[in-house]
Chains A and B, each alone.
Chain A
Amino acid sequence: MTENIVEARGLVKRYGELVAVKGIDFNIRQGEIFGFLGPNGAGKTTTISMLSCLLEPTSGSATIDGLDVVRDAAQVKRIIGLVPQEIALYPTLSGRDNLNFFGRIYGLRGRRLRERVDAALEIVGLSERAKDAVQTYSGGMKRRLNLAAGLLHEPKVLFLDEPTVGVDPQSRNHIFENVERLNREGLTILYTTHYMEEAERLCHRVAIMDEGRIIALDTPQNLIKVLGGGVIHVGVQDGLSEEMLSKIRQLSTVKDVAPLDGKLKVETVDAQRALVDIIAIFNQADAAITSLEILEPNLESVFLHLTGKRLRD
């Protein structure tokens, strides 16, 4: 899993005064699931649009399997699959009719088309509902068929743009299982989401995006390590004495203490144990705690730690 199949250098996308993507660099290794994690408007969809040749970058470059996304767009389109954020299906046609149509667009015909449609339906678990009109499907089933349409031509790289939005937990799990299975079979996947649990579960590496920039890129585990055992935000009344600050810093469960917007931000080795120690110090000093917030070590906390914002504001 060492060869890069997707390479992006200085990608920028500008819409007039608005710069949606502000110069991002990343590589995606062959066979990995690469995540883009960020809130709505971070630039995830715009990035996928540039990689899938829907938008021309304002500047910068990107290649997929060595093919430039601008100069070699026609060839790139043959080897990528796009599962858009919208349910990009024809509601009055059946599931099978939808897949037959998209398969033909990719040049599949006759028996090969039938085989691929059957295989795609099997992967997403919709074989029994294939003859029904898409408009009769649940939201989760539509998302699954949406995924199936992106797999028909056996792409080398699959772009999944927020594939679980509005989906029930059962279908969501089905999609996760499909993604993991496809990846085990060798498919490289770029997965965008604003759900940190999806990124943590599925992605080998995650790029955290905010306001058009990648602010962090690493494995989920390494990203979370930034938070150590967790971060505690302690609201204090009338500030803290140096003596108390010093005592907190010296706790074995605490890595660092710093003021943050009128609160105390405590980076810990173990948040639960650190909390007990901190409360004891406050009790001894007879000082009041006005608020407490524990950021467990996860990507959402990482995002908050890095940007001061929540993923789903």
Chain B
Amino acid sequence: MQILSITWKDLKILFKDIGGMATLFLMPMMFIIVMSTALQGMFDSGDTGQPWRLPVVNLDSGDLAAEVIAQLDNMDGIEVETAWEGQTLTRERAEALVTDGERAVAVVFPADFSDRVEERLDDAEARATIELITDPAVSTQFIAPIRGMVLGAAERVAERWLASARLEASLAEVLAHLPRSAQIPLDQMTIEAEETNVVHVEQVAPPGMGIEVFPDSYQQNVPGYTVFGVFFIVATMAESILREKTEGTFRRLLAAPLPRPALLAGKLLPYYLVNLLQVAVMFGVAHFLFGMALRQPAALLVVSLALAAAATGLGVLVATFGKTQTQISGLSVLLTLTMSAVGGCLVPTFVMPDFMQTLARFTPHGWAMQGFQDALVRGYGLAGVWPEAAALLGFAALFFAIGVWRFRFDT
């Protein structure tokens, strides 16, 4: 009952602190909304729901560029734009679109595109060039897939045309040596190349992953900024403990018939509960307002429970190192930001160098991210997230052990 009394008292104090509540709830929510919306194009572009819009300027005097453009337009995830505001796209307009940030990439087929392909019949070194107008600030990782698609489509068209042209030339030569009666007019012979999609690429997941759709922007960002926000509790909790010591309420409580473990437990529980509430609010808003799918809720719950334990454990530990509000605040910010960055909350770990991906495993953030993504994105159930939950509980145990060992009840 004493633990619950302390918990209830601290929850009342916490919820009266408007600024503190804003930091714990509004700030991570703001990050989630802004970053998910801002990066929606990056995560969601390229599927039929939200295709990449690709401006294309066709200056080709021949027909080959038009064939390439038709192939691009047929691809899933690409929407070719050959006009802008009702007018055929010009090079200048395409450049302006990139400069103004309307589009990241534009494609220009020069006037001699078909001629250059035809030159290949006689000159093995001849090459046709397609220009990709890109903003230098746009990441290579974003440009590379588009470049690949354009090159692939152009290669296919060029090779088919060249193969057809060579075959026609060979046939003409053969026919010229046949008796007149055996000759079949070329115009009665058709070599048709069916425009069929001979090859299809299908994206699949490794065994055991039960995904049906791919992660959207919210499924990537919500776990990241939720974990980021959960660890804000470290500063709040550590400052609260310090305040109780410096303002004398700790002294009064220690003079009461209140066992020290109960005092500590009572101080930890409200922050643990607030952590769980943070996760519930972040995921709830993402689900109900933005339609993020909440897969494997039991697995999500287990990871959340373990995550909150790690965060409150770190709060106890930081409370033992800071002697002033400034020290606690500085130490909390340093730890929270560093571990969030290293752990993949702000930048996905797969884009990091190998050594940093290894470092992520030394942070609770990294394990929490993996756990959430295992459930949300990869569709793992309880059995699949237990390693992450165990790691988080291990961090919690370590933080608590050191924190309790260092904790001074002296006031």
Please give the residue numbers on chain A whose beta carbons come within 8 Å of chain B beta carbons, in ascending order: 52-55, 74-75, 77-78, 80, 82, 84-90, 92-93, 97, 101-102, 104-107, 149
Contact for A88 among B6, B12, B247, B259, CB less than 8 A: B247
Across the two chains, which residue of chain B brings its CB closest to A105? B256
Which residues of A are found within 8 Å of B252, using beta-carbon distances? 82, 84, 88, 102, 149
CA gap between A277 and B28 in the complex, in Å: 83
Q: Which A residue sits closest to B266, measured CB to CB?
A: A105
Q: Is the CB of A80 within 8 A of B255?
A: yes
- From A75, A93, A106, A107, B9 is in contact (CB under 8 Å) with A93
Q: Is the pair A87, B411 in contact by a Cβ cutoff of 8 Å?
A: no
Interface pair A88/B251, CB less than 8 Å apart:
yes
- Inter-subunit contact A54/B9 (CB<8 Å): no
CB pairs A–B below 8 angstroms (5 shown): A74-B259, A84-B251, A88-B251, A92-B16, A105-B258
The residue that B257 contacts in the complex, of A54, A78, A92, with Cβ under 8 A, is A78
Q: Could you give, for residues 61-90 of chain B, a 1 whenever the CB lies within 8 Å of some chain A CB and a 0 otherwise? A: 000000000000000000000000000000
- Identify whether the interface residues of B are mostly helix, strand, loop, or mixed: helix
Q: Does B5 lie at the interface of the complex (its beta carbon under 8 Å from any beta carbon of A)?
A: yes
In the complex, chain A residues whose CB is within 8 Å of the CB of B255: 52-54, 77, 80, 82, 84
A145 to chain B, nearest CB (A): 12
Beta-carbon contact of B248 and A86 below 8 Å: yes
Q: Judge if B13 is at the interface, Cβ distance under 8 Å.
A: yes
Q: Give 7 closest A-B pairs by Cβ, nearest first.
A: A86-B248, A88-B248, A82-B255, A88-B252, A104-B5, A77-B257, A52-B255
CB distance from B265 to the nearest CB of A (A): 13
CB of B280 closer than 8 Å to a CB of A = no
A-binding residues in B (CB < 8 A): 1-2, 5-6, 9, 12-13, 16-17, 247-249, 251-259, 410-411
Q: How far is the CA of A308 from the CA of B147 in the complex (A)?
A: 92
Whether the Cβ atoms of B410 and A55 lie closer than 8 Å is yes
Give the contacting residue for A90; candidates B5, B13, B257; CB below 8 A.
B13
Smallest CB separation, B192 vs chain A (Å) = 82
Partner pick for B256 among A85, A90, A106, CB 8 A cutoff: A106
B248 touches A92 (CB 8 A): no
- Chain B residue contacts of A54, Cβ below 8 A: 251, 254-255, 410-411
A171 to B253, CA, bound (A): 25
A88 B16 Cβ-Cβ under 8 A? no
- Chain B nearest CB from A52 CB (Å) reads 5
Q: What B residues does A107 contact at CB under 8 A?
A: 257
Contacts of A101 in B (CB 8 A): 5-6, 9
Q: What's the least CB distance linking B239 to chain A, in Å?
A: 14
Contact B12 A89 (CB under 8 A): no
Contact, CB under 8 Å: B247 / A87: yes
Q: Are the C-beta atoms of B257 and A74 separated by less than 8 Å?
A: yes
CB distance from B98 to the nearest CB of A (A): 54
Known pairs A54-B411, A74-B257, A82-B251; list 9 more (Cβ under 8 Å). A53-B255, A77-B256, A80-B255, A84-B248, A92-B13, A97-B12, A101-B5, A104-B5, A105-B6
Known: A54-B411, A104-B5, A105-B2. A93 touches B12 (CB 8 A): yes
- C-alpha gap A101/B7 in the complex (Å): 10
Asked if A90 contacts B9 (CB within 8 A), the reply is yes
Cβ of B126 to closest chain A Cβ, rounded Å: 80
Which residues of chain B come closer than 8 Å to A102, judged between CB atoms?
Answer: 252, 256
Shortest Cβ distance from residue A144 to the other chain B in the assembled complex, whole angstroms: 15
Please give, as numbers and ranges, the residues of chain B lying within 8 Å of A89 by CB-CB distance. Answer: 249
Chain A residues contacting B249 (CB-CB under 8 Å) are 88-90
In Å, the complex CA distance between A106 and B254 comes to 11
In the bound complex, how far is the Cα of B276 from the Cα of A114, in angstroms? Answer: 33
B123 → A minimal CB distance (Å) = 83
In the bound assembly, the distance between CA atoms of A226 and B162 in angstroms comes to 124
The CA-CA distance from A104 to B87 in the complex, in Å, is 77
- C-alpha gap A84/B246 in the complex (Å): 12
How near does chain B come to A22, taking the closest CB pair, in angstroms?
Answer: 20
Residues from chain B with a CB closer than 8 A to the CB of A87 are: 247-248
Residues of B within 8 A of A84 (CB): 248, 251-252, 255
CB distance from A147 to the nearest CB of B (A): 12
In the bound complex, residues from chain A placing their C-beta under 8 Å from that of B411 are 54
A93 to chain B, nearest CB (A): 6
Contact of A85 among B2, B12, B248 (CB under 8 A): B248
How distant is the Cα of A126 from the Cα of B330 in the complex, in angstroms?
Answer: 40
Closest chain-B Cβ to A293's Cβ sits at a distance in Å of 38
Say how far A143's CB is from chain B's closest CB, in angstroms: 12
B327 CB → nearest A CB, Å: 20
- Which residues of chain A are near B248, meaning CB under 8 Å? 84-88
Closest residue of A by beta carbon distance from B246: A86
CB distance from B240 to the nearest CB of A (A): 10
Q: How far is the CB of A18 from chain B (nearest CB, A)?
A: 14
Bound CA span A53–B253, Å:
11
Distance of A74 Cα from B249 Cα, bound (Å): 18
Instruction: Report the minimal beta-carbon distance from A136 to chain B, rounded to whole angstroms.
Output: 13
With a CB–CB cut-off of 8 A, which chain B residues contact A149?
252
Chain A min CB distance to B21 (Å): 12
Let me know if B13 and A93 touch, CB within 8 A.
yes
Q: Is the CB of B257 within 8 A of A86?
A: no
- Shortest Cβ distance from B325 into chain A, in angstroms? 15
